[in-house]
């Protein structure tokens, strides 16, 4: 069974927030669009996002002492980052690449390229949310990191000149200033860092579902099927092979998160993606109110006010993508949040886990397949998937239409790993 698409057609593989953003943007820009995913739209990792739209998340994922700390990370079940022992051998090559990204030249390149992407990221939501009547899901009241330790605050503040040098507003806030911003925080806060331009998505899954509904209303198609291969069959013609047939188009965009790796490997790429699993705990009746996303500086996770309550999210667990979840990783978030939010309640809490696709340098892969230019890709956004979804969609639409993208994408190509 073959589906021949009209000229200007595109198939997007993946129905998470990145794939749906790309699909809606392409439809708005005149393409006929089909989205294919084996799951329903927004049922994967992006539905559990922390909801914090952070333009400041521009640093590579590795700390300078990552490899030295790896043995301890295997044992620390309560840390912000854990590595399951069975996954450790697979993670070592990734960790070496992650440490290599800390050398002065690559490190500066990551900062400047990520700042170029995140600096446009939040404003880029405006056109998509307006088209999908989803403006109510996005707000921009800033973000806050709160610290109970002066030493931890001082250490984090060393990054202030870096953020500000890239035009990413960040400022140190006194203890009194933090309590004024968020009265629910504990009285022994030492201070914090405020990001006035940060934003919030009050319902990540709802946002993507709005996009999906609007895409279909505009004549786009969403299919549930298992994608097995992507290939270029002729100049200006590509196709997606699924479990039930073949779908042809002028362009194919692979935006399937962690599942993108095997598809691009078939096209000759090395794809050093790690399965970085994130957990969240949703508190429908938290008993406290926050005005914006708040990151707890020492245990390194966020509390974000959502439509359905307060979401505690942000831990990382490196493990095989299909390994059974350890929901204690989610449940511990309430215990770690209590010192910061003394009035917090955990009644009827719901835990969740999803698999983030993370590259060792912290940058996503966005580009065109060299030997198959009808195939494009956009995946591996790590912790920045929701934040950079709309600007990624603009970039991919530019590539599809052969016009200059809003961000220089040369550094985001998969060739950087070859």
In a domain, 408, yes or no: yes
Q: Tell me, what's the pLDDT at 410? A: 98
Domain count, the chain: 1
Whether the Cβ atoms of residue 388 and residue 378 lie closer than 8 Å to each other:
no
132 is a domain residue: no
**261 CB burial (10 A radius; 0-12, 13-18, 19+):** buried
Question: Which pair of tokens denotes residue 249?
Answer: 């188009």
Percent helix, percent strand, percent coil in the chain, to nearest 5: 35, 25, 40
In a domain, 20, yes or no: yes
pLDDT of residue 215: 98
Residue 389 falls inside a structural domain: yes
53: β partners: 199
Q: Any idea what the CATH number is for the domain that residue 224 is in?
A: 3.50.50.60
In which domain, by residue range, is 370 found? Answer: 2-46+205-272+361-417
| Consecutive H or E run containing 32 | strand 32-37
pLDDT score at 62:
83
Q: Does 83 map to a domain?
A: no
Query: Which pLDDT value is given to residue 2?
Result: 44
Provide the whole-model pTM.
Answer: 0.96
37 domain residue, yes or no: yes
Residue 71: predicted pLDDT: 72
Mean pLDDT in runs of 10 for the chain (418 residues)? 57 98 98 97 94 96 69 70 89 92 95 98 98 98 98 95 98 98 97 98 98 98 98 96 98 98 96 96 97 94 96 92 94 96 96 96 97 97 97 98 96 96
């Amino acid at each position: 069974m073959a589906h021949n698409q009209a000229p200007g057609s595109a198939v997007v593989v993946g129905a998470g927030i990145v794939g749906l953003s790309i699909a809606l943007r392409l439809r708005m820009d005149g393409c006929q669009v089909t989205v294919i995913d084996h799951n329903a739209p927004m049922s994967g990792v992006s539905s559990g996002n922390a909801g914090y739209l952070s333009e400041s998340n521009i640093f590579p994922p590795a700390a300078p002492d990552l490899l030295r700390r790896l043995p301890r990370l295997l044992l620390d079940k309560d840390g912000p980052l854990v590595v399951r022992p069975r996954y450790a051998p697979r993670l070592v090559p990734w960790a070496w690449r992650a440490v290599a990204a800390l050398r002065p030249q690559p490190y500066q390149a990551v900062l400047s390229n990520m700042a170029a992407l995140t600096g446009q990221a939040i404003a880029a939501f405006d056109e998509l949310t307006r088209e999908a009547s989803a403006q109510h899901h996005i707000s921009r009241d800033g973000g806050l990191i709160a610290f109970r330790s002066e030493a931890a605050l001082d250490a984090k503040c060393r990054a202030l000149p870096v953020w500000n040098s890239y035009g990413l507003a960040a400022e140190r806030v006194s203890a009194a200033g933090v309590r004024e911003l968020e009265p629910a925080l504990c009285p022994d806060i030492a201070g914090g860092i405020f990001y006035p331009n940060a934003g919030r998505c009050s319902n990540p899954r709802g946002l993507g579902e709005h996009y999906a509904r609007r895409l279909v209303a505009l004549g786009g198609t969403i299919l549930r099927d298992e994608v097995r291969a992507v290939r270029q069959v002729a100049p200006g013609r590509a196709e997606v092979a699924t479990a039930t047939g073949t779908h042809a188009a002028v362009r194919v965009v692979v935006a399937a998160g962690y599942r993108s790796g095997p598809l691009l490997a078939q096209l000759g790429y090395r794809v050093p993606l790690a399965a970085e699993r994130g957990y969240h705990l949703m508190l429908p009746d938290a008993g406290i109110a926050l005005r914006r996303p708040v990151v707890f500086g020492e245990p390194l996770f966020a509390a974000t006010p959502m439509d359905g309550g307060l979401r505690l999210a942000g831990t990382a667990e490196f493990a095989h993508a299909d390994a059974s979840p350890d929901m204690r990783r989610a449940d511990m978030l309430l215990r770690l949040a209590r010192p910061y939010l003394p009035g917090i309640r955990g009644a009827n809490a719901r835990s969740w886990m999803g698999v983030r696709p993370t590259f060792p340098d912290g940058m996503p892969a966005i580009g065109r397949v060299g030997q198959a230019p009808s195939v494009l890709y956009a995946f591996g956004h790590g912790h920045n998937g929701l934040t950079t979804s709309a600007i990624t969609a603009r970039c991919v639409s530019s590539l599809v239409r052969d016009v200059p993208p809003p961000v220089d994408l040369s550094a985001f190509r998969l060739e950087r790993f070859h």
